[in-house]
Amino acid sequence: GAGVSQSPRYKVAKRGQDVALRCDPISGHVSLFWYQQALGQGPEFLTYFQNEAQLDKSGLPSDRFFAERPEGSVSTLKIQRTQQEDSAVYLCASSHHQGPSYEQYFGPGTRLTVT
Amino acid sequence: AQKVTQAQTEISVVEKEDVTLDCVYETRDTTYYLFWYKQPPSGELVFLIRRNSFDEQNEISGRYSWNFQKSTSSFNFTITASQVVDSAVYFCALSEENDYKLSFGAGTTVTVRA
């Protein structure tokens, strides 16, 4: 079956541009997560959705970051006025159930480079 | 505060050697979950194992084995008879009872040379 897909896989943006990153979770998965992975580091949590509800956005680094999942499936992470420090791989993960005990399945990530 | 510590940044071994990856975690919860993920060069994180805090039984899956010790807050991972295909970054992660997110360690890069 299809796994988590993300698009685009690579994005180069000039400083100050807005970007939108898309995540298609595994069909039927209730939970969806966004993580940010800097070079040589482990993923860092950004935000969490349960269906269409954004239950936790405590990891979003600034108000330039915004995520939505309006119909409880596809999610978009938007970054406004990109800065060089936003350069990273953005990972999306989904989980069939809600709760901390269930494994999350990750997509291939979007590598964002801000020049 | 860092919840998961992977002290080994890089490990290089020759094929067929065993390799053990250390993971030390920190939590105040009595119920928590520990995970290991593999990130090959392609970049996609692959789930390997999940343990809950009440199950300290060690687990073996093929060439992989895990040693969970609550007394030392460690959840170590051993690859037996390593192969070139095992070359990847391995991450240990923690989730806590009332928190859905995964807290990852910094990862250990394993290079297996032929």
Written in H, E and C, the secondary structure of chain A is CCCCEEECCEEEECCCCCEEEEEECCCCCCEEEEEEECCCCCCEEEEEEECCEEEECCCCCCCCEEEECCCCCCEEEEECCCCHHHCEEEEEEEECCCCCCCCCEECCCEEEEEC
Sole residue written with tokens 């692959």 = B46
Q: Is B72 left (phi over 0), alpha (psi -120 to 50) or beta?
A: alpha
| A105·B52 Cβ contact <8 A | no
Contact B76, B22 (CB under 8 A): yes
Give the pLDDT confidence score for residue B6 in this predicted structure: 97
- Nearest residue in chain B measured CA to CA from A4: B44
* pLDDT score, position A23: 98
The CA distance from A38 to B2, in Å, is 16
Give tens-digit pLDDT for B21-41.
Answer: 999 999 999 999 999 999 998
- Render pLDDT for B75-93 as a digit per residue (tens, 0 to 9): 999 999 999 999 999 999 9
Smallest CA–CA distance, residue A31 to chain B, in Å, is 9
Model confidence band, residue B1 (pLDDT cutoffs 50, 70, 90): low
| Token pair belonging to B74 | 């460690």
For residue B96, the tally of other CB atoms under 10 A from its CB is: 20
Across the interface, do B50 and A103 touch by the CB < 8 Å criterion? yes
Q: Do A33 and B100 touch (CB under 8 A)?
A: yes
Q: Is B26 on the interface with A (CB under 8 A)?
A: no
Q: Which residues, in sequence order, are CB contacts of A115 under 8 Å at separation 6+?
A: A12, A13, A14, A15, A84
* pLDDT in the model for residue B97: 84
The β-bridge partners of B5 are B24
Q: Do A106 and B105 touch (CB under 8 A)?
A: no
Nearest to B43 among A101, A104, A108 (CB): A108
Q: pLDDT tens across A61-113, in order?
A: 999 999 999 999 999 999 999 999 999 999 999 998 777 778 899 999 999 99
